[in-house]
Structure formats: structure tokens, C-alpha cells
Structure 1
Amino acid sequence: MVTPILNNRSAVPAKSAELEADGIHPLMARLLAARGVTSALEMHISWANLIPPKQLSQVAEAAQHLANAIANKQRMLIIADYDCDGATACAVGVRALRSMGAIVDFLVPNRFETGYGLSPAVVELALQHTAGKPDLLITVDNGIASIEGVEAANAVGMQVLITDHHLPGDELPDALAIVNPNHPDCSFPSKNLAGVGVIFYLMLALRAELRLRGVYPSNGGPRLDALADLVALGTVADVVSLDSNNRLLVTQGLERMRRGQIHCGIRALFQVAGRDPRQANAFDLGFALGPRINAAGRLADMSLGIRCLLTDDEQQALQLAQELDEMNQDRRAIESTMHAEAQQIVEQVLPDTSATVCVYHPDWHQGVVGLVASRLKEKYWRPSLAFAQAESGEIKGSGRSIPDVHLRDALDLVSKRYPGLILKFGGHAMAAGLSLEEDNYDVFVQAFEEAVQELTGRYQFDPIIDTDGSLEPEFATLHVAGLLKQQVWGAGFPAPVFRDNFTIRQQRLLKNKHLKLSLERQGMHYEAIWFNHNVLLPEQVEVAYRLDQNEWNGQVSIQLIVEHAQACE
């Protein structure tokens, strides 16, 4: 286990003062300024402040193609992805298109059979669709890399419209239109839209196009803000950076959930997760609902998750949510076993001077190796890859990285140094996937280690906990904890972590797993808990913590959630 280094974020006093002068709470002003917020307008979350759809390149052309397809009663088929972002994007697309008169269905690839995205194999499945051959394929959360798949679709008379948010390669597919904020010709101010955000924007543009054609009056048509709960779920679950535009989308979705304006599939997911949608927050979406949707794509077929999000039947939604919950329990059991086996492998083979972690077991589940890699990355704080057996002598790996190592660049270097060693790879800085011949695993492990050390010049990396410094005692209140809870925090906009010295007055273990603490600072007493930590602490400690509200027996009190604690220097 590595020991993190505590680091204080840089304060921006002048900007903090400006935000405070604009009416923002003093502590919030300090926190927001440290996260790059420059104007109180960035915190206004009304729909009027959403970046206009017309700023997305090719969105107008894509909307025109869809409007023509609706007018001509063409069959559309959405090609989804097998994660929560892809599932919610599919649900947004299907719901919005049907509300505007489209004939549309969906198809989601099976990660174990056809691989990722619009592949030629998926085109073959589309041709055999029960509703008949589609006229138009619409990708959501995938497609930017589907050169061969688009060629295959075009060859059999199916046109393709791509909506995606992933980074493009050197070559782009020959599609009718490509709507992607990361398209090289796109000047959209937010490059951080999730796949569900991109299709939502296209649906806004389509409604505007239908208004221009007189299908709807100038302010008429379906209420697309009713899809905000789906957009929020996919955006948070995909861990995209929460810039001001994404925070607006997520906040609007959470507010609808809290008001009870929620699709029954999402309501059912809250129910099986034991969460209250009236108190919905980003943590619920990322750690309670998202994993249950993702379990379908990891273990079986993501169409189960999509059907849960599409049904308007409360009873069916609950039944599907219960199936997803059971799958998630199975996933957790599989992951736990695999993680224990991975630990044994690492302890046997990992040298102290290694910059990377690679593990492989022929009996592991392909859909769960990414989660194992994530847990190994957190424990050893090194880029980590976990592999499982695929078919015909191949193994498939999934990796997670740390901020110091761009994982896709490392794999790209291996691919260039050892042509043919990696059969296929893709991903981005923090996560990637690849496939190898099983016989080449040992060669790859050494090549990957060399690549990471060459790119970084290091074999040891230290995790850093960025903190917001000391919490002023006058702000350690229920009111402030409530303000923090209402804000949307997440990737690129991290939840506040404070850092102070305390005296421990009492400490005890709960279930031999969690450390319960009574702390004192400047004459004030605080209850605190350090989850999944079972080692007692010295009397004088420096603590990195989050300020939270604890509800128990109808009483609400302040509680500190410990992120890390160490003896005072």
C-alpha cells in the first residue's frame, strides 16, 4: 500500500473575492476559485445558459438527415455502447426520436462477440434486425473509429450518422455526418460532453429543424428537458470532466429526480439500490445506479439495462432493475475473487523497481478485468493491466492508469517498438484496452514496463491528495455541509477535501473494518469515520477529510469523512 502525499490547491484570493462580492458564500467562493471558476455566471444552472447546439460542428446537417428520414418514414437503428453512458445515450435517442415521429429501434454489441463499436460484424447483425433492414444507422457513444464498419454499412445500402465523444484517429469514417465535440473541425467550447450529452444535443437540434420546417410551432415539440435524468446519469457514470456545461446538465437532471420527475427505470434503480431519489446526488449516480447498469454490459447483454431505461411500465422497470441488481451482486462476487487472485499474483512477481502492474489468469471474466486493474492501480499507484482469456489463443486486457502515465501513449510506444505484438488497442490517458496472442504475454509485460519507464523516466510514483487547506471553524456547520452536498462534484471538479490537525479523544473499530473517531480541534469536537481502514491512529494526527451530514434516527449532525490520516509532523 502506498502512502499519499498531501498537497494544498493553489488559492486564488482575488478571484475568490470577486465571487464572494457576487453573492457566493465565502467558503464556496474560495473552493470555486481554486477549481478555475472565474465568474458567478458559471454557477447559474438554468437551461438558458446551456451552450447552444449550433456550435457543434455538423449538428445541423445531422439534424436535417434525421428530419428527412422521419418525413420519409425510414427505419432507423441506434447502435449503442455497452456501458452506462452508451445505455443512457441509447435511451435518450430512442425516446426523443420516437417522440418526434421516428421509426427507431436499437442494437447493442456484445462485448464478448462483436467487440466495441460499429464493426462489420455489427453491420451483419443490423441487416438481420427483426424489424427489417434499417435505412439509417445512428451510433451513440461510439463510431468515431469505425472506419471498416461504416464502409460495410455503406456497401449494403445503410447510411450511417455518427454521434460520439471519443478522440478521433488520423482517419475519419465516411459517414453522412459526424457529431463529436472532439472532431478536429469542431469549435464547441466544451470538449467534455459524454456520449449521452452529444445525442441530447443532436435531439435539441432536430427539434429546432422540425420547428423550422413547420412540423412544430416556434416553441413547440416534445419537452426534451424531460430526458435530463438520463443525461445526468450517463454523464456522471462516464466520469467525464464536469466543466460548467456538464455541471448544468447534471444539476438539471438531479433537480428533476428530487422533484419526482423521473423515468420509472431510474426510479426503480434508486429503489433496488436503497437510495432516495428525493435526496439524489452525483454520488448516487456514479456509485449506486451506474454500476448496476454497467453490470449488464460486463456480464451479459446491455440491452437489459437499455430496456430498463426505456420502459414506462413501473412493474416491468422494477423487475428489470432487480435483475440488474442481482447481476451487480454477481459482478461484485466475481470481482472479489479475481482481485484476491490478482493480489497473490502480484505479491509473487512484482519487483520493487517495477513501474507497472500486469496480471493474467486464464479463468478470469473478460467483463471484469477492468475493475481488477482499477483496484490494483489504487493499491500500488502504478499503471495496471489485467488480462483474461478470449478466443483462439488470444487474451484481452483492460488497463487503468495514474496521472503521471498516459496509458494509450504507452501502448502506442509498445506497438511501434514491437510491431504485431499488440493485435489491437485503444483508449485514452487513464483507461485502455488491448488484445494479444497468449504466447506473447511475457514479452508484452516487459515491453510495457520499458515503455512506461522510458516515457516517464521513473519507476516509482506517489499518489497525491489535493486538499483545500484548513477548514475555518466557523464553516464547520450543518448549513455549510448542506451547501457542499447540493453542489455537483466529480471528475475535473473534485469534492472539497480539507486538511487540519486534530487530537483523537476516542477511536474504535466498526465491524473490524471501519475506524470510528472522536476528534478535537481548537476546543471543538467532531465525529469522524475512516471507511475500510482498520488500524488505530496516534493521538495527534493530521487528517484530510470531507465535511458531510450524518443522518441517524431522524437526527442530522456533522460528520467528517476521512480520506487519509497520519501522525502530525
Structure 2
Amino acid sequence: MYKKWKLYEPVPELAAFAQEIGRDTTVAALLWHRGIRTRDAAELFLHPERLPFADPFAMRDMDKAVARIQKALAQGEHITVYGDYDVDGMTATSLLTRTLRKFGAKVDFYIPDRMTEGYGLNRRALEEIAEQSDLLVTVDCGIASVADVAAIQGAGKLDIIITDHHLPGSELPPACAVLNPHRADCPYPDKDLAGVGVAFKLCQALAAARSGKLWDGQSAFTDDLELVALGTVADIVPLRGENRRIVKQGMARMEATALPGVAALVEVAGLKDKKITAGHLGFLLAPRLNAAGRIESARTGVALLTAEDRAQADKLALELDALNTERREIESTICQTAEQELESLDMAETKAIVVAGKGWNPGVIGIAASRLVDKFYKPTIVLSVQEDGICRGSCRSIEGLNMYEALSACKEHLLQFGGHAMAAGLSLREEELPAFRAAFAAYAGAHLSEEDYEPKVSVEFEMMPEELTLDLVEELSLLEPYGMGNPKPYFGCRNVRGREAMAIGREQNHLRFKLGTEDAPVTSLMWNRADLAAAVNRETLDVVYAPAINEWNGRRSLQCMVEDLSPAQSERVFPEKELLRDIYRYLYAMQRGQGLIPFDTAALTAGFCQSFHHISQYTMGAALRIFQELGILRENLNENRYYLPPVQGKQGKMELDASPTYRRHKVI
């Protein structure tokens, strides 16, 4: 699925702004696109280590939380840290547990089971904890648990401190202290902290109180900043303000970390002795931790991050690596099954996807929903049908549809739902599934335009790869870490020809080719798209890429990390009637001569070009889709091939208007 480019408007003030901040105009434009307009703001963004940490006591109730914990430390009370089962929760639990132990606390941790207990506080767990603990401190959860906190703390069974970053409701839990920068009465300046970020501010406040010194934002407590960085990136919060300093400094420490668990995790992910990036945290380290909470227990993740012995840490890291492999296999099976269920639908006319499967792992369906959005670019809900007849699901949206509002409009069919604009969760009875599917699709159709269903990619500049320099790419690296609020900058180039394209990697699934000129070639890489090699060597392309530097054997060279490849406008030729006849004859002759038609658009395109004339994979793909819609081309998935069924009536006669794809083209 090709992505539509979203180009930024030209900046008239660019030259003056670049001169003011003393930077290249390319870097200046990237800063401007991110809302940075002054020299001071630019310097702090490019050098976040210069940003002082805000005073943690500016957070409402911080003084109460510190006083209660200090009392527990002084009187030898037992403390339980209660976290969530995602990476934000695991890192927050590990951070606070490790810090309290350093301060001499008797402390343990508790994380609920995803399958049996669900998210947040639950009464049974609190009752059990109250039998052995005097104080409970939540991390990354608790802000919505008003009734449970009232019941436990009101009975005098257990004192509770809430630390959370999720949006509070109209009523706060009646705890000893409630730390949440989103409280309406909280003056703390940075509202974008992750759950681990709020826990980190509590640690900073405790350290400051114990030192007896005035707050100093530059020499503040920063122990275990690796954990804070990992949880912050994994929770996809904006990497601006304090989050930016946390992540940049935390990643730098991670390369030579003293934490056995982090070192073991880095090594098992294949990142030892490499420069750690936010992409590594989000796509290599976090999934291994998340696998624990999705497949078994998040306690394994916390055990790894709090480990003091490297041998034990290595053992736990290998367990998580194995769980992550299992998670990928489960996810792949769910996606394949879901796609088979969708084969009978006209996806061009489908407004939203709702798929359900009995016994699908509830911990993995959210990832499966994301994969289906990536492939089909439709609002997607994946549901696991449980033995009790309840469907529990995860939702992922696309730009233009607020998922929470969509579920609210369909709430008559639901038992429970909650979440945000782009992601949410829900539950409903199995018998309500058909009505809910129809209602959700109707809502999506009414609130999304045809343009909304086009996937998009933001392109900062149009720049040919041969124009890149090492100096420019090194300066661009100052914008890292990339993430929400600071997306990786992509450049675009149109009407270019690639060459020497080939499949690479252990499974031969990645693509490598060259862009640029013969005098200034630039190696380009695209993950998981080796199938495009033939098109790259044959067709004119539009390319979206991120510039990078490759270091190998002491040599440094430019390279392009390709985000999107699409046929240039000149290649996007829709097959009209005569061309469709030629392609059908080509397929017919292939089936008669070879006995089969390969299930490979690239190979079919190359063969047609040799036998007839040049067309693109775009054109061949459209023709194959039209033939399938007309029923004159079918798939044999068992043998991984196409075949032409016997023709009824006059051979070669095509009722093209019976194809939705062809009809839509006529309307356009």
C-alpha cells in the first residue's frame, strides 16, 4: 500500500532563523517544523542535557508522599510497590523498588496477572497485600481505583500512595498522596511524563529530602536512568522537555550500564558495543520485556531489571528472548487467520475491520491489530472469544478516527471499553458481535473520507540522495532521540532509478540497492521488502528515506534507510481493456505451457515485460485484482499459485464493470 506524501509548507523565515541559531538551514527547518522558534529553545532541544530537571516538589502531594515514605523507612515498615504489566509499569516498579532498597527499605513488588486480574488495582490483591505490608505505592496505575482505595485505606488496613500518569476522572482516589501531573490542581510544568517518569520524580524527591540540600536541577538524583529511558520510550509519550533529557542520557548510560539486567537485555538483543537509539529501545528491548506480560508473567521482567547477579540476569534475559519468539509466532498465526477471514471481503469497500477468534491470546491481539492496520490501513479491532462467551479486544485506529469516540457511539453493544484516540480496549458478548461489527463500520464510514483511508508519510524535504553529506547527517543526529513529538525526519526524492537491487539477510527478506549517481552512489536499505527487488531494478520510483551513516571496518559511508517505495507517477498506469486482454493472454499461455501461474506479482510483471512491453508492478497488481474480482483468476493457497478456471461462454469476453476496482477507476 503506497503512502501519500505530506510535505511541509516553505518557511519564509528560514534563512534568518538558521543564522540566529547558527545551524544548517536543513536542521533549522526541522526545528521549525517541530514548533521551535527561538535560539534558546533550539539549544535546549539539541542539547537536552542542559535542561534542568524540574523541582519534584512542584508536583501536588509530593511532600505528603515523601513524608509517608520517610516514616516507613524510619519505623522499618514493609512497603509494596504495585505496578502494571507493560514496560512502563515494569521499569517503574523496578526503579522504585531498587531505589527504596538503596535507602534501606523493606520492600517487595506486586504486578497483577494480565489474564486473570487485568489492569490496575483489584480488591483481592489489595486485601492480600494488606496482610503483610504497611504501605503500598502504585506506579503507572491506580488513578481510576477510587472505590478500591477507599475500601482498603478507609478500613485502616493499608496506607496507599498513588503515582500515575493516566488522565484522572472527576474524583481522585482518597489515598495518602496522589502524584499525577494531569491532576487539575497540579502545577508541575511537564505533563508528558510516563508512569516511570512520575516514579522517577518521587525518587528524586526522596533523594533530595534525605540529602537535606536545596533542590538543584542539574545535580539531581539520576540513578537507574536507563530504566526511566526504556519505560518512557516504550510508553510512546512525547519526547520533549524532561522526557527528552531522560531518554538521551539514559540511552548513553545503557551502552556501558552497571545494571546486570539491562546489560543482559542489551546483549541478548544483539546490541552489545553498539550505539543505542530510541528505535532500539522501542523495537528490540521493549518487546522482549513486554513478552513476559503478554505470554506469562511480568514479574519475570521485573526480576530481570532488579537482578544484582549477571549470571541470573543472563538466564532471565534468555527466557524473555524465547518468550518474544513465541509471541511473534502467536502474533503471526493470529494475523494469518484474520487475513484469511478477510479474503471474502472487498477491502476497498470495507470501512473498518473487526475480526474475532476463539482462544486468541489476549496479550498479543493488540500487536495483531497494529499489524492489520499497517497492511490494510483501516480502523481495526481484534477480539479474543473466551470460553465464557465474552469477547475481549484491542483496537487500533488511523488518523481521522477517534477510537474512544467510536466505541462510545457503539456502547449499547459493549460491556466495557476504555482508551484513547488511537488505541483502546473493549469487551462484549459474543452474540452482540454481528451488531457491533455493523455499528462500528457504519460509524467509521460516516466519519472518514476516502482521503482518510490513504496512508500518509510526512516528508520534511525533497532531497536527492547524492546531495547528502556526512556533515549534514551528523548534524541531523542532534535531533535524536526520535519518537512521539519528535518524529524521525524523512526526506523524499521523485522519479529516481535504483540499481543492483538484491535480497539480503539470513532469511533473504530485506532489500538492498543503490540510489544516487554513478559518481556518488548511496547504498539504500529497506526492511522486509525483498519482494520489490525486481521493481527497483526495472521501474522509476518515488522514494521516502531517512539519511544515516554506516560504519564498517573503520569506514563511514552514507546510506538511506527507506521508509516507502512507490512507483513514480509515470508508472502508475491503470490497465484498460486492451492491456487487460494482453495480460490475460499472457497468463493463459503461461498456464498452458507451464501448468501453473506463480503467486508472485514481481515475477509475472518481469515475464510480461519480456514477452510484450514495459508495465509496472502497479499495473500488473491492478490487473490481477480485477481478474480475481471477475472470477477469472483464482488462488490456490495450498500450492501457492494462481490458476485460470475453465471459461464459461465466449473466451476472452470480460464484463469489466463487474469489477469494483475497474468501476472505481471509471468514476475517477
TM-score, length-normalised on structure 1?
A: 0.91
Compute the displacement of 1:62 (Å).
Answer: 1.9
Equivalent residue number for residue 550 of structure 1: 550
Given that 1:231 and 1:249 are in contact with CA atoms closer than 8 Å, whether structure 2 keeps it comes out as yes
Q: Which residue of 2 aligns with 1:401?
A: 397
Equivalent runs, 1:288-307 vs 2, <5 Å: 288-307=284-303
Find the counterpart in structure 2 of residue 234 from structure 1: 231
* Cα distance change of structure 1 residues 34 and 164 upon mapping to structure 2, 3 Å threshold: same
Residues 11 and 33 in structure 1, CA contact (< 8 A), matched pair in contact too: no
Q: Secondary structure at the match of 2:391?
A: strand
Distance 1:348 1:526 in 2: 43
The C-alpha deviation readout for 1:377-409, integer Å capped at 9, x for no partner, is: 111112111111335221210111122111112
The equivalent of 2:481 in structure 1 is: 488
Describe the superposition over 1:90-110 as per-residue Cα deviations: whole angstroms up to 9, x where unpaired. Answer: 011111122223222100000
- Residue 22 of structure 1: aligned partner: 21
Partner in structure 2 of residue 431 of structure 1 = 423
1:446-465 correspondence runs (5 A) = 446-456=438-448, 461-465=453-457
Question: Structure 1: how far apart are the matches of 2:451 and 2:151?
Answer: 44
Q: Please say if residues 91 and 231 of structure 2, whose CA atoms lie closer than 8 Å, have aligned partners that are also in contact.
A: yes
Distance 1:92 1:459, change over 3 A: same
Comparing 348-357 with 299-308, greater Cα deviation is found at 348-357
Specify whether residues 19 and 192 from structure 1 end up closer, same or farther in structure 2 by C-alpha distance, changes over 3 A only.
Answer: farther
State the partner residue of 1:35.
Answer: 34
**Greater Cα shift, 183-192 or 322-331:** 183-192
Structure 1 contact 508–516 (Cα < 8 Å) conserved: yes
Distance 1:185 1:205, change over 3 A: same
CA contact (8 A) 1:57 1:186 kept: yes
2:5 maps to 6
Partner SS for 1:366: coil
Closer, same or farther: CA 109–515 of 1 in aligned 2, 3 Å: same
Going from structure 1 to structure 2, the CA distance change for 1:247 and 1:472 (only over 3 Å counts) comes to: farther
2:67 aligned with 1:64, yes or no? yes
Deviates more, 1:397-406 or 1:475-484: 475-484
Classify the secondary structure of the residue corresponding to 1:494.
Answer: coil
Matches within 5 A, 1:9-408: 9-14=8-13, 17-18=16-17, 20-38=19-37, 39-43=41-45, 44-46=47-49, 49-127=52-130, 132-156=131-155, 157-212=157-212, 224-258=221-255, 260-276=256-272, 278-349=274-345, 352-408=348-404
Report the residue type matching 2:314 in the other structure. Answer: L
Could you tell me whether the CA contact under 8 Å between 2:515 and 2:524 is conserved in 1? yes
Aligned length: 555
Deviations 1:205-247 (A, max 9, x none): 22223334xxx8988xx98312111100101111111113211
Deviates more, 1:59-68 or 1:330-339: 59-68
Cα distance in 2, alignment partners of residues 45 and 316 from structure 1: 35
Q: What are the Cα deviations for residues 296-335 of structure 1, in whole angstroms up to 9, with x where unaligned? A: 0000100000010001111111111111111101111111
CA contact (8 A) 1:399 1:433 kept: yes
Moved more, 171-180 or 13-22: 13-22
Q: Which amino acid aligns with 1:524?
A: A
**Does the aligned pair in 1 maintain the 2:499–2:514 contact within 8 Å?**
yes
Give 1:150 shift. 1.2
One-letter amino acid of the structure 2 residue matched with residue 495 of structure 1: K
Q: Higher mean Cα deviation, 490-499 or 345-354? A: 345-354
Q: TM-score, normalised by structure 2?
A: 0.78
**Which residue number in structure 2 is paired with residue 508 of structure 1?**
502
* Per-residue deviation, 1:411: 1.2
Q: CA deviation at 1:265?
A: 0.5
- RMSD over aligned CA atoms reads 2.5
Bigger drift between 339-348 and 39-48 goes to: 39-48
What secondary structure, in the 3-state scheme, does the structure 2 residue paired with 1:121 have?
A: helix
Change in CA separation of 1:172 and 1:347 when aligned onto 2, cut-off 3 Å: farther
Change (3 A) 1:380 1:520: same
Distance 2:498 2:52 in 1: 47
Aligned-partner Cα distance in 1 for 2:63–2:16: 41
Question: What is the CA deviation profile of residues 100-130 of structure 1, one whole-angstrom value per residue up to 9, with x for unaligned ones?
Answer: 2322210000010111001213213424xxx
Provide the rounded CA distance (Å) in 1 between the counterparts of 2:422 and 2:25. 34
Using the alignment, how far apart are the partners of 2:515 and 2:51 within structure 1?
Answer: 45
1:13–1:30 CA contact under 8 A, matched in 2 = no
Deviates more, 1:174-183 or 1:467-476: 467-476
In structure 2, relative to structure 1, the CA distance for the partners of 1:169 and 1:223 (3 Å cut) is closer
Seq. identity, %: 36
Judged with a 3 Å threshold, the aligned counterparts in structure 2 of structure 1 residues 322 and 483 are, in CA distance, closer, same or farther, namely farther
Task: Determine if contact 2:353/2:380 at 8 Å carries over to the other structure.
Answer: yes
Cα offset for 1:364?
1.2
Instruction: Tell me if structure 2 keeps the 8 A contact 1:350–1:357.
Output: no
Q: Output the CA distance in 2 between the equivalents of 1:10 and 1:60.
A: 47
Secondary structure at 2:305's aligned position in 1?
helix
Distance of aligned partners of 1:390 and 1:47 in 2 relative to their CA distance in 1, 3 Å threshold: farther
Question: Counterpart of 2:492 in 1: which secondary structure?
Answer: strand
Q: Deviations over 1:36-88 (max 9, x none)?
A: 22322322322652233233222222222222222232221111100111000
Contact kept, 8 Å, 1:119 with 1:148, in 2: the verdict is no
Hey, what's the Cα distance between the residues in 2 that align with 1:521 and 1:286?
34
Secondary structure in structure 1 of the residue aligned to 2:108 = strand
Per the alignment, residue 499 of structure 1 pairs with 492
State the alpha-carbon separation in 2 of the partners of residues 386 and 84 from structure 1: 22
AA aligned opposite 1:245: E
- Give the deviation of 1:519 after TM superposition: 1.6
The more displaced of 503-512 and 274-283 is: 503-512
Partner-residue secondary structure (3-state), 2:493: strand
Gaps of 5+ in 1: none
When residues 133 and 475 of structure 1 are mapped into structure 2, their CA distance, relative to the original with a 3 A threshold, is farther
Query: Could you say which residue in structure 2 is the equivalent of 1:443?
Result: 435
Matched with 2:662 is none
Once the two structures are superposed, residues 458-484 of structure 1 have per-residue CA deviations (whole angstroms, 9 ceiling, x without a partner) of: 695221100111237786123433444
Contact 1:11 1:34 in 2 (8 A): no
Give the Cα separation in 1 of the matches to 2:342 and 2:124. 37
- Matched letter for residue 368 of structure 2: V
- Tell me the distance in 1 between the aligned counterparts of 2:193 and 2:270: 29
**What amino acid sits opposite 1:30 in the alignment?**
A
* Counterpart AA for 1:428: H
Other-structure match for 2:646: none
- Counterpart Cα distance in 2 of 1:317 and 1:302: 15
Q: Call closer, same or farther: CA 1:541–1:84 in 2, change over 3 Å.
A: same
Report if aligned partners of 1:58, 1:177 keep a CA contact under 8 Å in 2.
yes
Call closer, same or farther: CA 1:176–1:454 in 2, change over 3 Å: farther
- What's the counterpart of residue 541 of structure 1? 541
Measure how far apart 1:504 and its partner are. Answer: 2.3
Contact kept in structure 1, 2:380 and 2:397, CA below 8 Å: yes
Q: What secondary structure does 1:226 align onto?
A: coil
Greater CA drift, 340-349 or 484-493: 484-493
Structure 1 residues 150 and 379, CA gap change in structure 2 (3 angstroms): same
Taking a change above 3 Å as real, the CA distance of residues 265 and 280 of structure 1, as seen in their structure-2 partners, is same
Higher relative contact order (CA 8 A, sep 6+): 1
